[in-house]
């Protein structure tokens, strides 16, 4: 039985067992499948549904116990919130809160009338800013007092909740929104998280957007302040809102240690006919996107098409070079667009560097492909499209040396069946492609970016082994239920037993996977709780090894 199913059964069991005594409101409890986050005020950890019995009832107090947490001192405070429905956690309606003062039990003093029908309440947990991400949180309601007496309910076992870090929430550091995650691990173990820093709004290019970086030296528990690594400022005399850089992909050369970050730069804007617009300034409110209409056009000139930039670092991500513009050397002139695919690039076993890439062909139709370097990033070569009407993709090297490209497919949009990621493989660096047997048959998606990653580890018999990991929102329409899956046969099968739903919230749903160490991986992703979240998952948890 996989961990997600066990978690769901435990939640349903709690809901079924926690019925109040006859003649009083009935209380149902559910722990959502979401991490409890540091650097976020009151992460939702427990939903309580109070179903009225027809009599007026006022909540007077609630006793909470988190003594079975790995370290109860990780918890700084508890808050009780009311919401309009069973799915939304409304931070605007906190009715009580209390600090823990290092204690494992807290009592909330209340004076909260229950509604005549159903009242939805959430308990939120605030953690210390820095915690060990192997720690788990246990939160259990042990007593509820009302003006009519104490509600009695059967005892239940609280699941141990995963912890994580909110790297960015809306408005932090003067940035309206952060989107499009990518993450990689430097040779010294430093984690490098990249994303769009969207200063003015959450909208895509064109806009005031830089590629930003945060580094972690302790496996993801703490992170350095945000620093821009691709920022074109007011290049060409245009405002920053007309020099946006987006859709970053990070790649670590495993042989030299050099770190590359690729991004797509849009300078100025084109009109509805694909013509350069003169006279743009900071007050101009016209907007177009590189994937919309004629937002990017054939050719390689900066006034015709978006530009493919690459910056690099030789000191573990502390400092970065002025970017190289590889557009003229890699983009075919007839293509409307050529861009990085967000996430992480790879180093093949023979040392070849591979970026997943995407674009629009001579008719403006989207495609996915790869771009590679056989000389450690001095020059880059673009492969042929793997498929059409596909976009954001991730690549992984399979055990036979071939490259698998896992692609977002526009044909899936809103369709329950057929639905599945488009998957192709190549043995010649993208000159030719073969559709994989699983293509559009497994790995359901809501037409959204996803992450593919080959992780190397030490097997129980001490031999070297690897596993293919994949993360995306598991839903045909909505970006929710972010799930990590594992394949032990190069992606031929993705057993349900080897899957973990780590965030059920509805958000933007993009993700990127990297290694923390051989026994653990980290996922940087977009959550309904925060713009950018990092969680740690032990390999044994998904492989079900002891």
Provide the pLDDT for residue 184.
98
Does 172 lie in the same domain as 308? yes
| 24's tokens | 């009083």
Question: Any idea of the CA torsion for 200, 203, 206, 209, to the nearest 10 degrees?
Answer: 50
Tens-digit pLDDT profile for residues 241-267? 999 999 999 999 999 999 999 999 999
> Residue 395's Cα: distance from chain center in Å?
17
Determine which one of 28, 240, 278, 392 is catalytic: 392
| 517 Cβ contact partners less than 8 Å away, ≥ 6 residues apart | 189, 219
CB 364 within 8 A of CB 289: no
Provide the pLDDT for residue 145.
96
The CATH number that applies at residue 529 is 2.120.10.10
Strand bridging mode 324-325 / 307-313 = antiparallel
The CATH number that applies at residue 106 is 2.60.40.1290
CB 158 within 8 A of CB 139: yes
Provide the pLDDT for residue 170.
96
Provide the pLDDT for residue 15.
43
Does 369 lie in the same domain as 221? yes
Does 372 lie in the same domain as 396? yes
Provide the pLDDT for residue 2.
52
Decide if 392 is catalytic: yes
Does 289 lie in the same domain as 322? yes
Instruction: Return d(Cα 240, Cα 343) in angstroms, integer.
Output: 24
Provide the pLDDT for residue 157.
81
Does 187 lie in the same domain as 126? no
| Domain boundary, last residue among 115, 146, 161 | 161
Does 387 lie in the same domain as 290? yes
Provide the pLDDT for residue 86.
87
Provide the pLDDT for residue 158.
87
Provide the pLDDT for residue 546.
57
| 194's tokens | 């990249």
Distances (CA, A) of 157 to 49, 105, 142, 202: 18, 16, 11, 40
Does 169 lie in the same domain as 134? no
Does 373 lie in the same domain as 399? yes
Provide the pLDDT for residue 102.
87
Tens-digit pLDDT profile for residues 8-36? 444 434 443 444 344 688 899 999 999 99
Q: How far apart are the first and last CA of the chain?
A: 15
| 46 Cβ contact partners less than 8 Å away, ≥ 6 residues apart | 29, 30, 31, 122, 123, 139, 141
Domain count, the chain: 2
Does 242 lie in the same domain as 171? yes
Q: Name the one residue in this structure whose structure tokens are 């037409």.
A: 447
pLDDT of the chain, 546 residues: tens digit per residue: 454 544 444 443 444 344 434 468 889 999 999 999 999 999 999 999 999 988 999 999 999 999 999 999 999 999 999 998 888 888 889 999 999 998 999 999 999 999 889 999 999 999 999 999 999 999 999 999 999 999 887 777 889 999 999 999 999 999 999 999 999 999 999 999 999 999 999 999 999 999 999 999 999 999 999 999 999 999 999 999 999 999 999 999 999 999 999 999 999 999 999 999 999 999 999 999 999 999 999 999 999 999 999 999 999 999 999 999 999 999 999 999 999 999 999 999 999 999 999 999 999 999 999 999 999 999 999 999 999 999 999 999 999 999 999 999 999 999 999 999 999 999 999 999 999 999 999 999 999 999 999 999 999 999 999 999 999 999 999 999 999 999 999 999 999 999 999 999 999 999 999 999 999 999 999 999 999 999 999 999 999 865
CB 450 within 8 A of CB 472: yes
Query: What is the extent of the structural domain holding 521?
Result: 164-543
Does 109 lie in the same domain as 33? yes
| Domain boundary, last residue among 161, 183, 216 | 161
Instruction: Return d(Cα 504, Cα 499) in angstroms, integer.
Output: 13
Does 273 lie in the same domain as 361? yes
Does 155 lie in the same domain as 182? no
| Domain boundary, last residue among 131, 146, 161 | 161
Q: Name the one residue in this structure whose structure tokens are 């830089």.
A: 210
Tens-digit pLDDT profile for residues 271-324? 999 999 999 999 999 999 999 999 999 999 999 999 999 999 999 999 999 999
Distances (CA, A) of 50 to 67, 88, 226, 281, 429: 25, 15, 42, 55, 59
């Amino acid at each position: 039985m996989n961990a997600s199913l066990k978690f769901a059964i435990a939640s349903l069991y709690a809901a079924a067992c926690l019925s109040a005594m006859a003649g009083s409101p009935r209380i149902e409890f559910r722990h959502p499948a979401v991490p409890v986050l540091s650097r976020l005020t009151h992460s939702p950890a427990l939903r309580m549904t109070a179903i009225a019995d027809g009599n007026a009832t006022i909540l007077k107090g609630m006793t909470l116990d988190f003594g079975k947490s790995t370290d109860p001192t990780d918890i700084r405070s508890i808050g009780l919130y009311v919401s309009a429905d069973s799915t939304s956690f409304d931070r605007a309606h906190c009715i009580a809160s209390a600090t823990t003062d290092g204690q494992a039990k807290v009592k909330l003093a209340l004076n909260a009338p229950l509604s005549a029908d159903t009242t939805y309440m959430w308990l939120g947990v605030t953690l210390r800013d820095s915690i060990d991400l192997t720690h788990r949180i246990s939160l259990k309601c042990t007593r509820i007092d009302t003006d009519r007496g104490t509600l009695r309910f059967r005892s239940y076992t609280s699941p141990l909740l995963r912890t994580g870090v909110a790297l960015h929430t809306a408005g932090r550091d003067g940035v309206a929104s952060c989107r499009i995650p990518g993450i990689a691990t430097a040779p010294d173990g430093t984690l490098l998280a990249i994303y769009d820093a969207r200063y003015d709004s959450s909208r895509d290019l064109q806009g005031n957007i830089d590629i930003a970086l945060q580094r972690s030296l302790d496996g993801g528990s703490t992170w350095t302040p945000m620093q821009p690594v691709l920022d074109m400022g007011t290049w060409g005399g245009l405002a920053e809102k007309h020099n946006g850089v987006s859709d970053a992909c990070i790649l670590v050369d495993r042989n030299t240690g050099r770190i590359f970050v690729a991004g797509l730069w849009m300078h100025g804007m084109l009109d509805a006919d694909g013509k350069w617009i003169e006279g743009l300034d900071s007050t101009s409110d016209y907007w177009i996107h590189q994937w919309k209409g004629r937002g990017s056009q054939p050719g390689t000139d900066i006034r015709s098409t978006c530009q493919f930039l690459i910056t690099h670092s030789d000191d573990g991500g502390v400092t970065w070079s002025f970017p190289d513009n590889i557009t003229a050397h890699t983009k075919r002139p007839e293509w409307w667009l050529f861009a990085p695919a967000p996430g992480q690039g790879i180093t093949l076993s023979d040392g070849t560097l591979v970026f997943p890439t995407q674009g629009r062909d001579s008719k403006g139709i989207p495609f996915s492909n790869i771009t590679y370097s056989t000389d450690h990033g001095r020059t880059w070569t673009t492969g042929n499209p793997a498929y059409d009407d596909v976009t954001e993709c991730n690549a992984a090297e399979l055990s036979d040396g071939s490259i698998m490209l896992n692609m977002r497919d526009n044909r899936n949009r809103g369709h329950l069946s057929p639905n599945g990621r488009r998957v192709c493989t190549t043995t010649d660096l993208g000159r030719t492609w073969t559709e994989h047997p699983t293509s559009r048959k497994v790995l359901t998606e809501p037409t959204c970016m996803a992450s593919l990653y080959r992780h190397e580890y030490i097997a129980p018999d001490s031999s070297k082994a690897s596993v293919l990991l994949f993360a995306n929102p598991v839903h045909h329409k909505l970006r929710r239920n972010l799930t990590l899956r594992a394949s032990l046969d190069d992606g031929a099968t993705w057993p349900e037993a080897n899957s973990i739903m780590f965030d059920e919230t509805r958000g933007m749903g993009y993700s990127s996977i990297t290694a923390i160490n051989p026994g653990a991986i980290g996922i940087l992703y977009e959550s309904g709780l925060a713009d950018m979240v990092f969680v740690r998952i032990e390999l044994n948890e998904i492989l079900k090894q002891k």
